[in-house]
C-alpha cells in the first residue's frame, strides 16, 4: 500500500479488484467514528448507535460494488447511514406494544390530559406562527398535500437536497420555538 492511495474512491477500486480487506478496513477506520456520531445524533443511544454503525458497514461492504461514484463516498455513506437509522427508528415506533389496560387508560382521557393536549396544541400553533409564509407553504406541500421531495423541488426550481435542508431547518425552528414556549 503506497502513501499516494488516499482517496476513498481509489481504496474502493483497489478493494473491488483485489478483495483485500485492508482497503475496506481503511475506509472503516476513516468513517466509523463519523457514522457512529450520525447514528447517535439520531438515536440518542450509544448502544443502538454502535449496533447501527456495524450494520451500516456490513451493508456498505456487501453493496460496495453498487457505488457508482455519482457522488463522493462520504456522501453515499452518509445517505446509507441516515436512511438505515431512520428505517430502524420507524420500525421501532411501529413495533411499540401496549397492554390492553394501557390502551383502555388512554381511551378514557381525563380532563387534565385534554387540557394538556390543548395547551400543547396552542404552543405549537404559536411556534408555527414564528416561521415565514414560505416555510409554512413548504411544510404544507410536504405534510398536508403529501408531495414528495422531487415534486417540491421541481415546483421551486431547487435541488432535492435544498428542499430537504429547508424542511429540516424549518422543523428545527418550530421545535426550538415549541420547546422554548413550553418552558416559559
Residues 80 and 14 in one domain: yes
Q: Are 20 and 64 in contact (CB under 8 A)?
A: no
Percentage with pLDDT > 70 across the chain: 85
What is the crossing angle of helices 160-182 and 111-128, to 10°? Answer: 130
User: For 134-171, what is each residue's pLDDT tens digit?
Assistant: 888 888 888 888 888 899 999 999 898 888 898 888 88
User: For 96-111, what is each residue's pLDDT tens digit?
Assistant: 555 555 555 555 555 5
Task: Determine the average pLDDT of the residues in 163-181.
Answer: 85
Structural domain boundaries, residue 142: 111-182
Task: Determine the average pLDDT of the residues in 75-91.
Answer: 89
What cell numbers appear for 20 in the block?
Answer: 483485500
Residues 83 and 55 in one domain: yes
Task: Determine the average pLDDT of the residues in 72-79.
Answer: 89
Residue 104 belongs to some domain of the structure:
no
Count of domains forming the chain: 2
Residues 88 and 12 in one domain: yes
Q: What pTM does this model have?
A: 0.48
CATH of the domain at 31: 1.10.1740.10
User: For 45-65, what is each residue's pLDDT tens digit?
Assistant: 999 999 999 999 898 888 888
CATH of the domain at 172: 1.10.10.10
Confidence grade of residue 4 (pLDDT, cut at 50, 70, 90)? very low
pLDDT value at residue 131: 87
Residue 102 belongs to some domain of the structure:
no
What cell numbers appear for 175 in the block?
Answer: 421545535
What number of H helices and E strands is found in the chain?
A: 9, 0
Residues 69 and 139 in one domain: no
Which residue blocks in the chain are alpha helix, DSSP H?
A: 8-18, 21-43, 46-63, 73-94, 100-107, 111-128, 133-139, 149-156, 160-182
Three-class secondary structure of residue 72 per DSSP = coil
Q: Pick the closest to residue 39 from 22, 59, 25 (CA basis).
A: 59
Residues 74 and 133 in one domain: no
Amino acid at each position: 500500500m503506497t502513501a499516494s492511495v488516499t482517496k476513498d474512491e481509489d481504496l474502493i477500486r483497489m478493494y473491488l479488484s483485489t478483495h483485500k480487506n485492508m482497503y475496506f478496513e481503511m475506509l472503516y477506520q476513516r468513517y466509523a467514528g463519523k457514522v457512529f456520531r450520525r447514528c447517535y445524533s439520531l438515536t440518542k443511544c450509544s448502544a443502538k448507535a454502535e449496533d447501527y454503525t456495524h450494520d451500516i458497514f456490513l451493508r456498505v461492504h456487501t453493496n460496495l460494488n453498487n457505488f457508482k461514484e455519482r457522488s463522493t463516498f462520504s456522501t453515499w455513506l452518509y445517505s446509507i447511514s441516515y436512511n438505515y437509522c431512520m428505517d430502524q427508528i420507524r420500525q421501532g415506533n411501529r413495533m411499540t406494544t401496549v397492554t390492553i389496560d394501557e390502551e383502555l387508560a388512554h381511551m378514557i382521557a381525563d380532563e387534565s390530559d385534554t387540557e394538556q393536549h390543548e395547551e400543547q396544541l396552542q404552543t405549537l400553533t404559536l411556534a408555527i406562527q414564528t416561521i415565514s409564509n414560505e416555510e409554512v407553504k413548504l411544510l404544507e406541500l410536504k405534510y398536508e398535500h403529501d408531495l414528495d421531495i422531487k415534486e417540491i423541488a421541481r415546483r421551486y426550481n431547487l435541488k432535492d437536497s435544498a428542499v430537504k435542508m429547508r424542511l429540516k431547518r424549518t422543523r428545527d425552528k418550530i421545535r426550538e420555538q415549541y420547546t422554548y414556549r413550553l418552558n416559559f
